[in-house]
Amino acid sequence: MKRTSILFLVFISLIFVSSCKEETLPKPQGFLRLEYPLPQYEDANIDCPFTFGKNVYSVTKNKKDCDFVLEYPHMKATVFLSYKPVNNNMKELLTDAQAFTYRHVVKAANIIEQPYVNPDKKVYGMYYEVGGDAASGTQFYLTDSIRNFVLGSVYFNVKPNADSLLPASHYLKNDIRLLIESFEWKSY
C-alpha cells in the first residue's frame, strides 16, 4: 500500500510540474491584407481609332490589329480589349457582347448593368458588374453606334473566388471606370 501511495504522489507531482508552463492560447484569426499602389494614369499609347487613360502599373500588349491586353503583373490580372469596325452589324455586335456577359450567369450571384452615355465624345456603352465566383467580374462595351465598337473584359489568372479577389477586383473596377470615362474616338 505504501508503494502505491508513493507512485501516486510521484504521478501527481509530475502533473503539477509539467502544468507550470505558460498557458498556450490559440492565435487569433488573421486576415490577408493586400495593398496596391495608388493609381496613376496616362494616355494609352496605341495606334487605333480610339484612345483612353490607363493605369501606369498596367502593361499594354498588342495582340493583333486593335485587339490588345492590359496586363497587371502584380495582380495576375488582364484586361482584354477587342476592337471591331461596324459594318451594318451593330445589332449582331451588341447581341454578342450581351451574350458574352450572360454566359457567366451560371456562376454569377448577380449581374448589374450600368449604361454609359457621353454625347460630347460620342461614346455610348454598357458596364457589367458580375457578382459571385464568375470567371470575369467586370465586362463592358463601348461604341459610337456608327463606325466603331470595343468589347472589354477583366480576368484574373487564378481560380475565381469573389471573397479573395475583392481588393484586386475593386482596384481594377476603378481603373475600368476611368478607362471608360476617358475613352475617345480619334475620328471625331
Domains annotated on the chain, with CATH: 41-185 (3.40.1000)
Q: In what order do the strands lie in the sheet with 123-132?
A: 59-64, 67-72, 77-85, 148-156, 138-143, 123-132, 108-118
C-alpha span between 118 and 50 (Å, rounded): 15
Does residue 123 carry a pLDDT above 80?
Answer: yes
pLDDT of residue 65: 87
pLDDT of residue 88: 94
Does residue 1 carry a pLDDT above 60?
Answer: no
pLDDT of residue 160: 79
Q: pTM higher than 0.75 for the full model?
A: yes
Does residue 56 carry a pLDDT above 80?
Answer: yes
Pick the range with the lowest mean pLDDT from 82-91, 108-117, 121-130, 140-149.
108-117
